[in-house]
Structure 1
Amino acid sequence: MKAEALLFGGVAVFFGGCGALYGVWSGDPAGTAALVVAFGMAALVSFFCATQYVRRGQRPQDRTDAEVADAAGPLEFFPPHSRWPVITAFGSAVTATGVVYGLWLFLIGAGLLGLGIFGLVFQYVDRGSGQED
């Protein structure tokens, strides 16, 4: 993840520099805000990749002497099926519709969206408990 962290870090530096120069020279708040948001998103991805690199170390993809067999085997746990992505998507749609039609629908959608996100985050919170290391 070191290469990805450096790549997105470079993108963040680019957008940060462009945002600063654009804000000073143009005085346009909308374009400056868009560049600042782009900087923030790239910096967030860079931070995540750097944190994963520090926690997990080098992957086989990061080494030049790695073989294909080094990356074989299970990578992560991927759930086979879950209802929470559907609830989250429906909550997002109702929340966006609530922006147009009124606060009451927005609040219902925000509740559904919060429920879906909560379910996604905590659906496998007890996975692995009861196993001896």
Structure 2
Amino acid sequence: MKTNATIFWILFGFLLFMDIVYVGWSLLDPLHGKIEWAGTLSIGLAALLAAFLGFFFSRSDRATGGPLPEDRLDANIDDGDPELGFFSPWSWWPILLAAGAALLVMGLAIGVWIAFIGVAVTLVSLVGWVYEYYRGNFAR
């Protein structure tokens, strides 16, 4: 994590420097002599993204208390194997939810009438996925 943070902070500094160079270069252009805003904002926003990622990785490194088990050479496989949650291996609801979301997006791109079908399929499959352990053989 610390290496990732360092790389993104270096990238931030480089992009900020290049943004300043780009603004200076566009001002010295004999034909226009004005700031070219599209490139200036693009490079500036890329620098801002690198700063966000550098800040995130810096904070994550501090929160975890040092190197992760995946980054240490003396770590065992079980050290980096946390409990990820409970997943139903037999559940068909996630597939139906993905199909409903695909119909919804396809309806927005192709025809609005398909989006209505996608909304219905998405809502039914979302409710089914949430409440699948309240009925049937696996009720709790």
Report TM bin, short chain.
Answer: 0.5 to 0.7
Query: What letter matches 1:69 in structure 2?
Result: N
- Structure 1 residues 76, 42: CA separation in 2 closer, same or farther (over 3 Å shift)? farther
Matched, 1:15 2:15: yes
Q: Which has the larger radius of gyration?
A: 2
Match of 2:44 in 1: 36
Matched-pair identity in %: 23
Query: What letter matches 1:28 in structure 2?
Result: E
Query: What letter matches 2:43 in structure 1?
Result: L
The separation in 1 between residues aligned to 2:86 and 2:24, in whole angstroms, is 48
* Residue correspondence of structure 1 range 1-133 to structure 2 within 5 A: 1-26=1-26, 27-59=35-67, 60-63=69-72, 66-69=73-76, 72-75=79-82, 77=84, 80=87, 83=94, 86=98, 90=102, 93=105, 97=109
Shift of residue 97, structure 1, vs aligned partner: 4.1
Match of 1:129 in 2: none
> Contact conserved, 1:15 with 1:36, CA < 8 A, in 2?
yes
Query: What letter matches 1:55 in structure 2?
Result: A
Structure 1 counterpart SS, 2:81: coil
- Report the TM-score when normalising by structure 2: 0.52
- Report the TM-score when normalising by structure 1: 0.55
After superposition, the CA RMSD in angstroms is: 3.9
Unmatched 5+ stretches in structure 2: 27-34, 120-125, 131-140
Deviation digits for residues 58-113 of structure 1, max 9, x if unmatched? Answer: 123555xx414166342462674785x848x659946x849xx9xxx7xx9xxx8x
